[in-house]
Structures are given as structure tokens and as C-alpha cells.
Amino acid sequence: MPVVIGFEGSANKIGIGIIRDGEVLSNPRRTYITPPGFMPSDTARHHRAVILTVLKEALEQAGLKPADIDCVAYTKGPGMGAPLVTVALVARTVAQLWGTPLLGVNHCIGHIEMGRLITRADNPTVLYVSGGNTQVIAYSQRRYRIFGETIDIAVGNCLDRFARVIKRKSFVELPYTVKGMDVSFSGILSYIEDMSHKMLSSGQCTEEDLCFSLQETVFSMLVEITERAMAHCGSQEVLIVGGVGCNLRLQEMMGVMCKERGAKLFATDERFCIDNGAMIAQAGWEMFRSGQITELEDSWITQRYRTDAVEVTWRD
């Protein structure tokens, strides 16, 4: 029964989780909060300040000692460079001190494998939505294939940035940009940032109307490309992962589409949707079980690490 510890720190959250044969033994994390947004160097400084405390918590909550750990997994990418390096350095050091194998994990695949573990979804079409990523993914021939993605900013970034502009409602028509299997959010964000003050001052709409309309529009775009991927793959399951996947309205809209198609919707709550160490441990557990390890000289990080660049050796 392999026990894997996972280190996640690709953005503003630092988390360390421990997995043993599909059981989450611990999953503490900390969040670097500094409005608005966060800088890579400051985020890395935060991670360095708390990572050993979080590591101690993870071991104590799991009731384990370093000698009980069979493998150390860490987020190789994608993400912010400085925080990724900080976590990779600690993971490499821990692996050498404890005499355990090391595994570099793709962040997105961590989300997918955690979602599959928690929901028991078999072979779903995956919508991965977060502050830094927006992808529609399906598994085929030992790869998680990207069927569609944002061609500019991520959906979480779009929503977060507009939330800073204005401090159930009437719907305001906004640009809707789906290009084949891909989506674009920069146009709608530029439009609403530019027009919001005019529309509010003229009394055309309220702040609540604009927030509601932005969310409805971008979520409709995501539902459309997810449904298209399902039709292409013949899939009857949808799994939503990533931080934006916590949004109940997105889950509701996706659920309506799934019901119309006779399909099933799977999603997790904030414990596992939001970046966490257990998801890296779970993906690492799957990789370790299939015989993968990362040699020390190859244990670097990459800010641009495509989901479909990883050979999925643990699935048929």
C-alpha cells in the first residue's frame, strides 16, 4: 500500500497532502491573500515562510513519520515560476533526506485524478476551469487530450478582474465568443470593463446585472464547448475540476445540459476543487504505481506544461 506525499504551490496556495491507496490521510494548506492579485516573488516568499509548518501538519494529521512515506510528489507545472521553484526545492530536499523516490506532477492532471478519485467518475469529459487555466479534456490513447481551451485569458481571471472593477438580476447582452472548440474571454472582459461605467451611470443596468450577465455568458460558453466535446467522444459523463468548478451556478448550468443528454455530472467541493496537496499526491500515487519516477537531474519545473504532454501510463 504505497503512501505518497504531494506538494502543491503553483499559485497563491501552498498545500501538502498525503494519500494511501485512494484514501486522503491529510490535506492542510495555506493561502497567500493580498488584494488585488499576487506577485510571484511575494507568493514564493509566503510559501517559504509556511511550507515547513504545513509539512509538519500533514504528517501529524496523517499520523505518519517520514519513514512511512514511499514517494514524494511535487507540482512540476504549469504555474508561476517563483512559487513552483520554492516548492520543488523543498520536495527535492525532503526526498533526499528521507531516501524516497521523487515525482514531478502536472498540475492539471492532479486536478483530474483527484476528481476521478473523489467522484468515482469512470471516463468523463473534463472541464478544467481555474484562475490560470480553461480546458476541455478527454482521455484517449494514454493521453489527456485537450479538445478545446481558452485562446487568451482563463475564465477565473476574467471573473476576478471584473470583480475589481465594480464593487437575480436583469440580463445584459455581452459578447459571446466560441471559436470551434475554443473560447475567448479577453473580448468580453475588455467590453464590460469599458462599458460598465457608462451603463451604470446612465441607469441601463445595476452592478448586480453586470456581474450576473458576465457569469451567465462565460458559463454558457463553457457548457457549449463541453457538450460539443461530449458529442465528439460519445461521453456520458462530465467532471468539473479546478477552482472555478466550486461555483454552484456553473454546476447547475452544466447539470441542465447533462440532464438533457441523459448524462451524469460530477464535481467536488472546495476541499478538492481548489489547489491542494492531496491532488498532487493522488496523481503521484498513480504514476508511482505504474513505475514512473523523476530522476533528480530531471526534477526541474516548467511554467508551461501542457496537459497532453504527459503520457498517462496508469490508464488503459
Nearest to 230 by CA among 154, 303, 121: 121
Binding residue per annotation — 111?
yes
Q: From start to end of the chain, where are the E strands?
A: 3-8, 13-20, 23-26, 29-31, 71-77, 102-106, 125-129, 134-140, 143-149, 178-179, 182-183, 237-241, 264-267
**CA 159 – CA 224 distance, rounded (Å):** 18
**CA 73 – CA 213 distance, rounded (Å):** 40
Binding residue per annotation — 128?
yes
Binding residue per annotation — 160?
yes
Binding residue per annotation — 275?
yes
Place of cell 447547475: 252
DSSP bridge pairs for 138: 145
Binding residue per annotation — 132?
yes
Binding residue per annotation — 107?
yes
**CA 3 – CA 275 distance, rounded (Å):** 20
Binding residue per annotation — 27?
no
Binding residue per annotation — 298?
no
Binding residues for a divalent metal cation: 107, 111, 128, 275
Which residue numbers belong to the known binding site? Answer: 107, 111, 128-132, 160, 247, 275
**Residues forming the annotated binding site for substrate?**
128-132, 160, 247
